[in-house]
Structure 1
């Protein structure tokens, strides 16, 4: 089976996060510049912009801060997606803002990431925003985290400073449930250990940031993941007298489907087999995430938008009672008793917030019991009751079909990002 698109072994999705003025945009710019991933006209524009700001050297942060407001204020505001490649791997990099009020943007960038680069200033060490970024990475089950300890040149390239910070962060991230942390001492401004090894830190035996990004193992084999297909729309036969069954179009959320496979349609629970698969207008024997396809079933079942098709032997649980870890994204708080809309895949149902059992304190990872409400950027646990049953996986088992968002029923604004817990899992530190 040949992999294509997002499932190529050579593709890595990255999210970057760091506090304001810690040098994250410079790190990303250095990564792009030194890996020769910047076009000549882009480089010329950055050189001109650097000179107009009175700088003699190249301001690499301008390679990522693309919005006019970002350039004028010298900060990152929105998620910026950058695409670059080396001979060993291709990358999609989501560069997210550092301000605490933009934590919601990191949630967006990290939701599909396989690796997070968390950057901090060696002079300041692990601060609250660093802990918040680690918590978001753990919340969204990002499997790999790189800690880039930046501005090592401003602390005299001191090995002890790096060791202390790396130890503190790794211990914190491990308590959150982050499975792997790789710490790298860098100077983004000087280029030390970003793409090329540093001549000033020969005490560090590990890889540069780019070397680690090129070599970290990511499992893209869809055969090892549960198969899930949320139905987006129904394609009816072109003619009234056609004997062909309807097709069901959408994007495979996870795993692999093949012709002849026995599947179950949820929530009806009806079982049938896949008769045919269309990919880009052509018949295929198999298809996998994240391909957009049309499935044709052997039996003419009643299937609608929002239904889910899954292998008959590996079904997500149908439930109206949802317990989830959430990150609240809206300025208006989420309160116990609130009536909201819950969007899961292609389905939207009414729901009520039955309980908010606890809120996470980021400084010591303690639990604030029964807070009653969650404010913007708060991370906590909620219990919901939905009007209709949902085929909801545990987020730890399937990121795509274990996640959902809560929506304001009045104006349609996004309130909260949720990750479903299951099988007795109680929070961020669950395996």
Structure 2
């Protein structure tokens, strides 16, 4: 009889991508360090290095924040600048965690860290309550349509573990999140420094009857039904072996971005609009009848069509429209301003096309959720709406329908640097991005 080892069970456990955010000194890095430490996800030499670094800074106990604040500049300033990615696992679930910066000038880093997250943990200092950066991070999470939002009220030990303090902060934040279109917030009172309600329940807050933070992370629903979205298959590479064994083989390789593909299904190739039927699907060198996101496969069509990298194969009954006029919300990531009239490259899945910025209708003040009409340009960290005209059609979905095929990047055509991250079709009106 074969037995399943602990390593195999952990390797096959569900994966949750999450991001942490909050104001400076709210304790994000300490919380991440506490999660890693108390879940026994730290190697002995890592802990020894943290203890040595802590002693060199005059601390009497290990500073768990150093587990994520790895850059020298971060350690010297005592803040998080870059997005620190960490992997850890428990017997119930695997985690990829993005610890994002708190400073307003690093909003772009928070956008980067939360763009693929299924859950965002927003930290609040119990002494300060909900502040401008708290609202900013909640708004960014809402705009990026992160499915689950957690409020971690930290440093409860500094307010005598008082339930009324926690309740007031949770009520204010939940009310603000509701105005952003977030239907539900899970609030947890914690002390990252002492470990209260992070991994183990706190005896000092026996009035709290909910799960610890890790318990919630282990049990929150993750992933989605692949069949819930229409199938999208961006072609990455055309395979033509031209061998005696396979003289007529023509396959289109790539990763399924959304949905399910089935042999025998009628499909449309975009942007050309040509139609065919899926004749075969090869997965890991073997034929299969069905494949789904995010599997990497090779698709064979019944007809000999002109299909190239950057094309999208989609079911004929639910194929997107190929468009040249693109509108959506963007976060500007580059020090160079984005201006009306700029010529850029638009990268969408595996396709890159030339485009011009036709208009920047407004810039969003994320703190007040008000618009600055016709700003003319977006500066680094700005969030606003853009209108693009592309030289060739793009098979874009609305971001509300697919985070993967509804997102795009604007790239500098001169040197290839990334300028802007965009969400197709999104609008931010009346305090509600949805």
* TM-score (norm: length of structure 1): 0.93
- Contact kept? 2:142, 2:433, Cα under 8 Å: no
8 Å contact kept, 2:357–2:388: yes
**How far, CA to CA, are the matches of 1:262 and 1:40 in structure 2?**
55
Which of the numbers 77, 80, 86 marks the counterpart of 2:90? 86
Q: Aligned residue for 1:218?
A: 222
Counterpart Cα distance in 1 of 2:366 and 2:168: 19
Task: Tell whether 2:347 aligns with 1:343.
Answer: yes
Deviations 1:112-171 (A, max 9, x none): 110001112122222222222112111111010111111111122222222222222222
Q: What is the number of residues matched between the two proteins?
A: 425
Distance (whole Å) between structure 1 residues aligned to residue 328 and residue 210 of structure 2: 37
Shift of residue 12, structure 1, vs aligned partner: 0.9
Q: Indicate yes or no: 2:428 matched with 1:419.
A: no
How far apart are residue 241 of structure 1 and its match?
9.3
Matched, 1:232 2:236: yes
Counterpart CA distance in 2 for 1:382 and 1:284 is: 42
Is residue 102 of structure 1 aligned with residue 106 of structure 2? Answer: yes
Q: Where does structure 1 lack aligned partners over 5 or more consecutive residues?
A: none
Deviation at 1:44, TM superposition (A): 2.2
Residue in structure 2 matched with residue 385 of structure 1 by the alignment: 389
**TM-fit CA distance, 1:251:** 1.4
Q: 2:208 aligns with which of 198, 204, 207?
A: 204
Cα distance in 1 for residues equivalent to 2:429 and 2:254: 32
Q: CA deviation at 1:200?
A: 1.9
User: Any conservation in 1 of the 2:341–2:357 contact (CA below 8 Å)?
Assistant: yes
Q: CA deviation at 1:182?
A: 1.0
1:98 to partner: Cα distance: 1.9
Distance in 1, matches of 2:401 and 2:428, equals: 11
Aligned to 1:327: 331
Among 152, 173, 196, the residue aligned to 1:192:
196
CA contact (8 A) 1:324 1:421 kept: yes
Partner of 1:32: 36
CA contact (8 A) 1:139 1:428 kept: no
| Residue of 254, 271, 277 corresponding to 2:275 | 271
Structure 1 residue 340 displacement after superposition: 1.3
The worse-fitting range, judged by mean Cα deviation, of 272-281 and 308-317 is 272-281
Corresponding residue SS for 1:313: helix
CA distance in 2, matches of 1:82, 1:15: 10
Map of 1:130 onto structure 2: 134
Deviation of residue 9 (structure 1)?
7.1
- Please give the per-residue CA displacement for 1:228-287, whole angstroms capped at 9, x wherever unaligned: 111111111333895423111111111221222221110111111222222233333322
Tell me the distance in 2 between the aligned counterparts of 1:26 and 1:209. Answer: 14
Secondary structure, in 3 states, of the residue corresponding to 1:395?
Answer: coil
2:432 equivalent to 1:429: yes
> Is the CA contact (8 Å cut-off) linking 1:144 and 1:179 kept in structure 2?
no
**Alpha-carbon distance in structure 2 between the residues aligned to 1:401 and 1:71:** 37
CA displacement, residues 53-97 of structure 1 (integer Å, 9 cap, x when unaligned): 221112111121223333333222222221111122111111122
Q: Specify whether residues 405 and 427 from structure 1 end up closer, same or farther in structure 2 by C-alpha distance, changes over 3 A only.
A: farther
Distance 1:56 1:147 in 2: 30
Q: Which deviates more from structure 2 when the two are superposed, residues 23-32 or residues 238-247?
A: 238-247
Query: Is it true that 1:253 corresponds to 2:219 in the alignment?
Result: no
> Is the 8 Å Cα contact of residues 245 and 297 (structure 1) preserved in structure 2?
no
Superposed CA RMSD: 2.2
Correspondence for 2:398: 394
Three-state SS of the structure 2 residue aligned to 1:61 is helix
Q: By how many angstroms is 1:426 displaced?
A: 5.8
User: Is the partner of 1:275 in helix, strand or coil?
Assistant: strand
> Helix, strand or coil for the counterpart of 2:204?
coil
Q: In the alignment, does 2:298 pair up with 1:294?
A: yes
Whole-angstrom CA distance in 1 between matches of 2:369 and 2:397: 26
Give the alignment partner of residue 145 of structure 1, picking from 136, 146, 149. Answer: 149
167, 181, 192: which one aligns with 2:185 = 181
Q: Residue 9 and residue 421 in structure 1: after superposition, are their counterparts in 2 closer, same or farther (change >3 A)?
A: farther
